[in-house]
């Protein structure tokens, strides 16, 4: 029995990232379950001894309900958020493989900034702050712009060694999308295309930039196809 727990402990220590990711999903569900149980106990039963529909159950149904009444409603917004996940995933995946410290830090910072922007866009953080706390949109966007400029200045030499033209194009398109949110543009279709269309196009070009950057960085890490991965590196070099 002691050996079992010892092996389990070693396994958990060696798979801490996997454990943390699972806990990040399980913990909110556990808290939600406790909340539902408590709300059910507080609400109790109706006069007919049937369990009342508690606020916890209502919350659970709301959290897992389908967001749209028709299939294609908001589909381009959903596509933008899916595309946004690609460069973030590639950034953090590449950092786990490469040894170049400066490039790793750059990808971590870039991936973190993109994650913040995705969370803001998906959960409407800027709009909620403006509606509830009267925080101006300019201030929220200014924070993101400041972080982006800080990353660009600190990693300027690293960026110049990457296919930065795609990054400049993506940044310009994203900036156009942000400006379209502030500038009063006449019409209905034009503001939507300038705000959401340029954002989607910018995300596509950002994905191209991150993909090409990761591809060039991983070429120095991943062995040649002719090399047997089971062979020790020194033996593989001798075999050549």
CA dihedral 132, 135, 138, 139 (to 10 degrees): -140
Residues 127 and 36: their CA atoms lie apart, in Å, by 29
For residue range 19-48, list pLDDT tens digits in order: 787 788 788 878 877 877 777 677 655 555
Six-digit token pair at 95?
Answer: 């950092």
Determine the Cα angle at 94 with ends 20 and 86, to 5°.
Answer: 80
For residue range 40-75, list pLDDT tens digits in order: 677 655 555 455 555 566 666 666 666 666 667 778
Please provide the DSSP assignment of 65-133 as one string: S-S-SSTTTTHHHHHHHHHHHHHHHHHHHHHTT---HHHHHHHHHHHHHHHHHHHHHHHTHHHHHHHHH
Work out the average pLDDT over 75-84: 88
- What is the model's pLDDT at position 189? 74
Whole-model pTM over 0.85: no
What distances in angstroms separate CA 35 from CA 24, 39, 100, 148, one per listed residue? 17, 6, 46, 39
Residues 74 and 198: their CA atoms lie apart, in Å, by 16
Per domain, the residue ranges of the chain are: 6-63, 75-218
With cut-offs at 50, 70 and 90, classify the pLDDT of residue 224: low
Residues 23 and 11: their CA atoms lie apart, in Å, by 15
| Mean of the per-residue pLDDT values of the chain | 81
């Amino acid at each position: 029995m002691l050996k079992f727990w010892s092996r389990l402990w070693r396994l958990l220590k060696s798979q801490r990232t996997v454990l943390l990711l699972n806990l990040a999903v399980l913990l909110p569900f556990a808290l939600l379950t406790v909340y539902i149980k408590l709300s059910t106990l507080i609400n109790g039963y109706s006069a007919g001894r049937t369990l009342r529909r508690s606020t916890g159950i209502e919350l659970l149904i709301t959290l897992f309900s389908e967001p749209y009444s028709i299939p294609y409603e908001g589909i381009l917004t959903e596509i933008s958020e899916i595309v946004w996940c690609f460069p973030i995933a590639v950034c953090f995946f590449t950092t786990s493989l490469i040894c170049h410290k400066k490039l790793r830090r750059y990808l971590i910072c870039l991936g973190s900034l993109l994650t913040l922007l995705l969370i803001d866009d998906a959960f409407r953080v800027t709009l909620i702050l403006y509606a509830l706390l009267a925080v101006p949109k300019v201030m929220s966007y200014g924070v993101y712009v400041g972080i982006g400029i800080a990353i660009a200045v600190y990693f300027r030499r690293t960026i110049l060694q990457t296919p930065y033209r795609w990054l400049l194009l993506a940044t310009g398109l994203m900036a156009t999308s942000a400006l379209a949110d502030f500038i009063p543009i006449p019409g209905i279709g034009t503001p939507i295309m300038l705000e959401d269309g340029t954002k989607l196009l910018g995300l596509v070009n950002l994905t191209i930039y991150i993909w090409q950057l990761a591809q060039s960085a991983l070429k120095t890490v991943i062995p040649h196809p002719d090399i047997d991965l089971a062979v020790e590196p020194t033996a593989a070099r001798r075999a050549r």
